[in-house]
Amino acid sequence: MPGIFITGTDTDAGKTITTLLLAHGLKERGVDVIPYKPVQSGAEWKDGEWKAPDVEMYHLLPDIQEEKLYTYLFKKASSPHLAAEEEGAAIDEEAIIEEIKERSSRPKLLLTEGAGGLYVPLNRKGRCLIDVMEEVSLPVVIAARTGLGTINHTMLTIEAIKQRKLPIAGLVFSSTSPGEKDMEEDNMKVIYELSRIPIIGHIPFIEDLPNSLKHDRYRSEIVKDWHFNRLMEGIKNGYKAFV
């Protein structure tokens, strides 16, 4: 089964939590999924080894048995190309492309989480994450903030994806701070009116959200009103329903 690519309008736009909640909601609806993070920077030392924090979040899901859900892991919390250079390594984008294609050929629906935004450089050869996305040609879910500045950031992300002729499956918004509710709701409304990209769901601001998400019932509560029907219809019909 192919998959979906989750990208963000920026760093800390909610990609990992969006990936986790999409996986949770789809699994609740009978879709067998597996998350995957091609490049993880900002590794954390835990239990005597370096671990990928985003991948650790994936393991909150039941039945996620695969040990390695990433291709590259680097210690420095920075753009992937710089994090790789710090360790005398280099990222081969072709290896990532082949890994995504291979994983997409398996029975489970692949949810691939990007790093940062679209134009995060992978190496010094001018290759960015959006180039990988274009090569694998998976429909895209955009993780976006709800706060000030998100209209411009999100619309630019949408336009860049459309220029590469990639289908957009929908938007997931995250309230990353206790902002002005009226403004945030209007931001989401305006982005939809300008783009006509469907909003799949909204992640509210919650203190210590990562710890709350450890509980299955809490994840279910967040996604209970999300619009999974169109997403599942698109998956069923070969993504023809997507923009």
Distance, in Å, from the CA atom of 243 to the CA atom of 240, rounded to the nearest integer, reads 8
Distance, in Å, from the CA atom of 125 to the CA atom of 218, rounded to the nearest integer, reads 43
- The tokens describing 10, both together, are 């920026």
75 noted as active-site residue: no
Within 10 angstroms of residue 170's Cβ, the number of other Cβ atoms is 23
DSSP helix/strand/coil, 194 = helix
Residue for token pair 């300008």 = 194
Within 10 angstroms of residue 132's Cβ, the number of other Cβ atoms is 21
Q: Which residue in 15, 27, 37, 162 is the catalytic one?
A: 37
Residues tagged active-site? 37
